[in-house]
Structure 1
Amino acid sequence: MSERIAFRMKVHPGKVAEYTKRHDEIWPELSQALRDAGVSDYSIWHDPKTDELFATLVRTADHTMADLPKTEINKRWWKFMDDIMDYNDDGTPHVVELRQVFHLA
Structure 2
Amino acid sequence: MQRLAFKMKLNPRQKEAYKARHDALWPELKQLLKDAGVSEYSIFLDEETNTLFAFQKVSGNGGSQDLADNPIVQKWWAYMADIMETNPDNSPVSVPLEELFFME
TM-score normalized with structure 2 length: 0.94
Q: Which residue of 2 aligns with 1:81?
A: 80
Identify if the C-alpha distance between structure 1 residues 67 and 52 changes in structure 2 by more than 3 Å, giving closer, same or farther.
Answer: closer
Q: Shift of residue 90 of structure 1? A: 2.8
Q: How does 1:1-105 map to 2 (within 5 A)?
A: 2-63=1-62, 65=64, 67-105=66-104
Aligned length: 104
TM-score normalized with structure 1 length: 0.93
SS across alignment from 1:100: coil
Cα pair 2:2 2:61 within 8 Å, conserved: no
Question: Which whole-Å CA distance do the structure 2 matches of 1:48 and 1:64 have between them?
Answer: 26
> Runs of 4 or more off by more than 4 Å in structure 1?
64-67
Further displaced range: 13-22 or 58-67: 58-67
Identify if the C-alpha distance between structure 1 residues 14 and 70 changes in structure 2 by more than 3 Å, giving closer, same or farther.
Answer: same
Q: Which runs of 5+ in 1 are unaligned?
A: none
Q: Which runs of 5+ in 2 are unaligned?
A: none
Tell me which amino acid in the other structure corresponds to 1:97.
Answer: P
